[in-house]
Amino acid sequence: MILGLKLYLKNRKPTWKGFWFKLLFASKKLQIGKRFKCDSWPDISITDKGKIIIQDDVYLRRSVELRVHGDATINLKGNNRIDRGVRLLAANKSELTIGEGSKIGLYSVLNGGDSITLGKNVLLSGFVYLQTSMHNHEKEIMVQNQGYSHAPIILEDDTWCGAHVVVFPGVTMKQGSIAGSNAVVNTSIDKNIIVGGVPAKQLKLRQ
């Protein structure tokens, strides 16, 4: 009886923590939908006209970081599971959108100096890095003093990035495409193509 009660209380902790977080912190800038759950309260930073929208049935694991700067927006569209240590950043006027049913693996980073769009049922494994910004690097000027160039990233419905994949600015992964573990994706991928390697090359068609 006692063991069952302890298990029940443990399983309910994310629901309770989500309830209290929503009760205390929800606002026009931080909108939270129904049945929000979290293992620990997320690290939230919103500046200027930024906004975070967390729709229904979102579960954030431990140590998730959501940061919005400028006029940017983060939108979790519902039924999303964001694993521990994930960092979502939207800056400038970008929109970082996580489609319904999409899941992000532990310690992945989505760095949105420009917009990042994940469609429905997208899967990112652990330690994936989506990078929309690159340092300019003309010679005879220190790289850190040159600023950035930006381009959006789009992962269409039912795409999958294996562990440790890096996706460069301007890349679109079309519906059903897959990037194998440790791939560096610097060009767009057609529908249902599986790629791998550094830089990523086509390996085969998805069957």
For the chain, which domains are there? 2-205 (2.160.10.10)
Say what the pTM is. 0.90
CA distance 14 to 84: 13
Query: Among residues 92, 86, 84, which one has the least CA distance to residue 68?
Result: 92
Token duo for residue 121: 């049922």
Q: How confident is the prediction along the chain (207 residues), in pLDDT tens digits per residue? A: 565 555 655 677 999 999 999 999 999 999 999 999 999 999 999 998 999 999 999 999 999 999 999 999 999 999 999 999 999 999 999 999 999 999 999 999 999 999 999 999 999 999 999 999 876 667 777 877 777 777 999 999 999 999 999 999 999 999 999 999 999 999 999 999 999 999 999 999 998
Cis peptide before 199 (omega within 30 of 0): yes
CA distance 96 to 71: 12
